[in-house]
Amino acid sequence: MGSLQDKCLELLRGWLARQLDAAARAWLDEQLAKAGKADRDLYLAIGLAPRKLGKADLELGPEDLTAADAARRGWNPAGWSVDQASRVALLLAAARDEGAFPAKLEQLCNTADVRELIAFYQGLPLYPNQEVYVARAGEGARTNMKAVFEAVAHRNPYPAERFDEHTWNQLVLKAVFVGSSLNAIHEFDRRRNEDLAHTLVDYAHERWAAGRTITPELWRAVGPFIDESMLDDMKRVAESYIPAERQAGVLALRESGMPGAKTLITLSPEIVSEVEAGRVSWETIASEIEKPQ
Amino acid sequence: MKVIDPHIHMSARTTDDYEAMAAAGVVAVIEPAFWLGQPRTNVGSFIDYYSSLIGWERFRAAQFGIAHYCTIGLNSKEANNEALAEEVMDILPRFLTKEGVVAVGEIGYDEQSPLEDKYFRAQLDLARELEMLVMIHTPHRDKKKGTTRSMDVALEHGLEPSRVVIDHNNEETVREVLDRGFWAAFTIYPKTKMGNERMVEVVRQYGSERIIVDSSADWGVSDPLAVPKVANLMAQRGIAEHDIHMSCYQNALDAYGQSGQFNEADWLNPAAIDQRTLFEGNSVLRGQAPRVDEDEPAKDVAVG
């Protein structure tokens, strides 16, 4: 048929086939063949996937990730597991019946365990009729289960493509709130906006008032929208005793056209040269945060 | 000392309990689906309850470094609402295959009414069809007859005694349960059923083979630290370390481990994917320190 769903299903099946033994492969193929038919079979197959196929990490090489991105721009299955990939494959097989699929997905989500939710949300960019799942994705972004939240927020092109500004901003705020990386949010920079910048600065004030720290990544959303009212805040960040905050301050200030911002940057010439040499960036700050303690 | 509490209703407990349990050595818990005190009036309430057992509560426990499992079933009290029970039976199979579901349970008798009998039997058949273990709640009133009858019916429906845990035993029921080859679980309640001292005497008399200690702590007067407390009391009273280990850890692991969903590696050495899903990295795994020291997620939970 050559649809996007078929292409992605074929990729998933190929990756799984490399890793599964013959019995597991046969089980999966049988379930995939049935997936478009009786609901009961689909629900059972999705439920049983980890018991039948295991939960190993999906082994993907750089060429696989390239193929994923070529099939569906922004699709990034790095970090997926075998059961997760097979569950998404089963959904894609079921999604051949485009009309019935959204209701099926909704029912599956309503009775899902944690690992199923992660799979269903990570599969979002692959389902037909992308506009239908905005409310469902928003539900995932409201959860307090961090791994489920990150299935929506991280390495997933769906929110950047489909969320309106309010929902998008709530997603970013929630990420900051639960200690999730902003760097892993797809097209984060493209969706930055003035309202988000002001909300995050308000949040920073709250945290400072309570004597608490702030993730340095927060300032990534603020940089292009720095105005007169934020200069004192940016000065505080750029002069912080925490190295990552000073770096974040400089990175944010570099994105501002404000004359005051340019003056503040001159106070940190050593960080500026690190940035220019490519040794300090939002990515290095993010990976510094994510290092195990 | 590591202990397992294989029967505790954590949804009814606080984060203080989770912290205290983790500190006292509880590494894993099983939360059986049961009655909520307030009868449910529609199947949606059951769906949301089962979902929270396999989802939110599992995640909540993991934040404190405790591995959480559950059993799914229609409890005996609510089996008496026939129209609702029918609807619940329809949705049960969808939940029984979920991650971390170790048995069908807790099922059995309350008043030993005909409807309770009907749905007890229907769920035993479901357990056999899906090759699942069964956790049986024995009635508080008319216990001795109810316990005997539960075992008779389980055998009649083709269940192996080694795949059935009979819970809420006392001195009057334990002999028959053990003689017939079932697992005998004991619920330690501060005021009713079994007390700590009595539990020590049961182990002294019967040894530790197939004997399991649990708290059944819920929204009533109960003690989420009952298992570690009994373990300590046994040590003080001179019970052999082996018997303490078997009755407060190993037997629960052996009984429910038959499900394939309850493995020591889950808490001793979680798979990478489980760490990502439930434990969010290494801090809990390595240090066994509860995650509550990070105030932000906890605060979000409180207001969310």
A185 located within any domain: no
Q: For residue B108, is pLDDT > 50?
A: yes
Q: Which residue of chain B has the CA closest to A215?
A: B296
Lowest mean pLDDT across A27-41, A119-133, B138-152: A27-41
Chain B residues within an 8 Å CB radius of A108: none
What domain range includes position A224?
192-293
A7 located within any domain: yes
Q: Which residue of chain B has the CA closest to A119?
A: B277
A187 located within any domain: no
A183 located within any domain: no
Length of chain B: 304
Q: How confident is the model at residue A138 (pLDDT cuts 50, 70, 90)?
A: very high
* Measured distance CA(A162)–CA(B39) in Å, rounded: 41
ipTM computed for the complex: 0.76
pLDDT tens, position by position, A30-46: 999 998 788 888 988 99
Residues A153 and A16 in one domain: yes
**How much is the average pLDDT of B229-236?**
95
Q: For residue B293, is pLDDT > 60?
A: no
From residue B67, alpha-carbon distances to A38, B21, B23, B60, B192 in Å are 34, 12, 14, 10, 28
What domain range includes position B271?
3-281
B303 located within any domain: no
Q: Which amino acid is at B62?
A: A
* Measured distance CA(A257)–CA(A98) in Å, rounded: 48
Domain total in chain B: 1
pLDDT tens, position by position, A192-232: 999 999 999 999 999 999 999 999 999 999 999 999 999 99
Residues A265 and A233 in one domain: yes
Give strand ranges (E) for B109-224.
133-137, 164-167, 183-187, 211-214
| Yes or no, beta carbons of A79 and B54 under 8 Å apart | no
At residue A289, the pLDDT reads 82
Give strand ranges (E) for chain B.
3-5, 26-32, 67-72, 101-108, 133-137, 164-167, 183-187, 211-214
Residues A22 and A162 in one domain: yes
B295 located within any domain: no
At which of A178, A209, A238 does a domain end? A178
| Yes or no, beta carbons of A79 and B47 under 8 Å apart | no
Q: For residue A83, is pLDDT > 80?
A: yes
The contact set of A with B (CB < 8 A) is 43-44, 47-48, 50-51, 55-57, 79, 81, 110-118, 142, 144-147, 174, 177-179, 292-293
Non-local (6+) Cβ contacts of B67 within 8 A are B27, B28, B29, B61, B266, B267
Pick from B282, B294, B301: CB nearest A179? B294
At residue B298, the pLDDT reads 37
Non-local (6+) Cβ contacts of A140 within 8 A are A117, A121, A148, A149, A151, A152
Residues A223 and A134 in one domain: no
Shortest Cα distance, chain B CAs vs residue A33, angstroms: 20
Could you say which DSSP state residue B217 is in?
Answer: -
Burial of A170 (0-12, 13-18, 19+ CB in 10 A): middle
At residue B301, the pLDDT reads 37
Residue B108 phi/psi, 5-degree rounding, is 145, -140
Shortest Cα distance, chain B CAs vs residue A104, angstroms: 13
B299 located within any domain: no
Could you say which DSSP state residue B97 is in?
Answer: T
CA B135 to chain centre: 8
Q: Which residue of chain B has the CA closest to A42?
A: B94
Per the CB < 8 A criterion, the answer to whether A5 and A92 are in contact is yes
B230 located within any domain: yes
Q: For residue B59, is pLDDT > 80?
A: yes
Shortest Cα distance, chain A CAs vs residue B96, angstroms: 9
B289 located within any domain: no
Which stretches of B76-142 are DSSP H helices? 82-96, 114-129
What's the mean per-residue pLDDT of chain B?
A: 89
* Measured distance CA(B236)–CA(B13) in Å, rounded: 28
Q: Which residue of chain B has the CA closest to A58?
A: B273
A91 located within any domain: yes
Residues A139 and A225 in one domain: no
Q: In B10-22, which positions are buried (b, 16+ CB within 10 angstroms) versus exposed (e)? A: bbbbeeebbebbb
**How much is the average pLDDT of A130-149?**
94
Residues A41 and A112 in one domain: yes
Pick from B50, B273, B283: CB nearest A55? B273
Q: For residue B93, is pLDDT > 80?
A: yes
Residues A219 and A137 in one domain: no
At residue B282, the pLDDT reads 32
Burial of A102 (0-12, 13-18, 19+ CB in 10 A): middle
Looking at residue B204, which CATH number applies to its domain?
3.20.20.140
Given strand B67-72, what is the order of strands in its sheet? B3-5, B26-32, B67-72, B101-108, B133-137, B164-167, B183-187, B211-214
Non-local (6+) Cβ contacts of B31 within 8 A are B8, B9, B10, B11, B53, B57, B68, B69, B70, B71
Chain A residues within an 8 Å CB radius of B54: 113-114
A184 located within any domain: no
Q: For residue B233, is pLDDT > 80?
A: yes
Could you say which DSSP state residue B248 is in?
Answer: I
| Yes or no, beta carbons of B55 and A146 under 8 Å apart | no
Domain total in chain A: 2
Residues A243 and A129 in one domain: no
Shortest Cα distance, chain B CAs vs residue A90, angstroms: 16
Chain A residues within an 8 Å CB radius of B51: 110-112
